[in-house]
Chains A and B, each alone.
Chain A
Amino acid sequence: DTGVSQNPRHKITKRGQNVTFRCDPISEHNRLYWYRQTLGQGPEFLTYFQNEAQLEKSRLLSDRFSAERPKGSFSTLEIQRTEQGDSAMYLCASSRIQGTNYYEQYFGPGTRLTVT
């Protein structure tokens, strides 16, 4: 499967614990996005990278959240001191950008986080 992959697919954690998710984009896609989706809502943008540079962060991304894409390939999203309100599906997407040409964002299967 050459699509976007995310690990783990499910994570159950206790409030106050730290969690880290990984996203592997489609090879050669230079843009990588993180979204969060809660029940009954559409995905909400969190942050995105172009290569290793983090270009935009949503106000939704509190200081407990940090994302990295150290070598411009895979990315990690860490949540520190998890709260019950962090329970959601975390989606990763990747796309290719060349100049001003926009290409489709391809989504991964998501990581479902449950904070107890």
Chain B
Amino acid sequence: AQRVTQPEKLLSVFKGAPVELKCNYSYSGSPELFWYVQYSRQRLQLLLRHISRESIKGFTADLNKGETSFHLKKPFAQEEDSAMYYCALRRSSASKIIFGSGTRLSIRP
């Protein structure tokens, strides 16, 4: 069965410090991996996709198939990064998205 695991419920870092939100997945095929973000009082929105290989708002994520991980990183956290972050997976041949349980990122001033 496909599964996405985010081991940290809450991650608190100081402004300017590096951030790494961990995500591991289980799937035997070649999935698409995503990071979604939900800011306070806003709807869930896509942050980035692994196939795009782009940096969004300073965040990057590299798919490591050997470790089945897709960790989200940012070198210098900003206060506006405080939000709920969800790692997600889509099977290559399907449409539904499987979400992890989420990590709340809190940036301290």
A residues with a Cβ closer than 8 A to B are 3-4, 31, 33, 40-45, 48, 55-56, 58, 91, 95, 97, 102, 104-110
Chain A contacts for B96, CB-based, 8 A: 33, 45, 48, 56, 58
Q: Does B45 contact A (CB under 8 A)?
A: yes
CB distance from B71 to the nearest CB of A (A): 17
Chain B contacts of A31 at CB under 8 A?
95
**Beta-carbon contact of B101 and A42 below 8 Å:** yes
Interface centre among B9, B94, B96, B99 (most CB of A within 10 A): B96
* Minimal Cβ-Cβ distance residue in A for B42: A109
A44→B46 contact, CB < 8 A: no
Q: Specify which chain B residues have a CB less than 8 angstroms from the CB of A40 in the assembled complex.
A: 9, 101-102
Q: For B88, list chain A residues within 8 Å (CB).
A: 42
B-side residues, CB < 8 A to A, are 4, 9, 32, 43-46, 86, 88, 90, 94-102
Contact, CB under 8 Å: B99 / A44 = yes
Q: How far is the CB of B87 from chain A (nearest CB, A)?
A: 8
Identify 30 residue pairs between A and B in the complex whose beta-carbon atoms are under 8 Å apart, listed by A's number. Answer: A3-B43, A4-B43, A33-B95, A33-B96, A33-B97, A40-B9, A40-B101, A40-B102, A42-B4, A42-B99, A42-B102, A43-B44, A43-B86, A43-B97, A44-B99, A45-B96, A45-B97, A45-B98, A55-B95, A56-B94, A56-B96, A102-B95, A105-B46, A105-B97, A106-B45, A107-B43, A107-B44, A108-B43, A109-B43, A110-B43
Chain B residues with Cβ below 8 Å from A108 are: 43
Instruction: Write out the residue numbers on chain B whose beta carbons fall within 8 Å of the beta carbon of A42.
Output: 4, 86, 88, 99-102
Contacts of B4 in A (CB 8 A): 42
11 extra interchain contacts, Cβ-Cβ under 8 A, other than A3-B43, A42-B102, A56-B96? A4-B43, A31-B95, A42-B100, A43-B86, A48-B95, A48-B96, A58-B96, A95-B95, A102-B95, A108-B43, A110-B43
Q: Measured between C-beta atoms, what is the minimum distance from B70 to chain A in Å?
A: 14
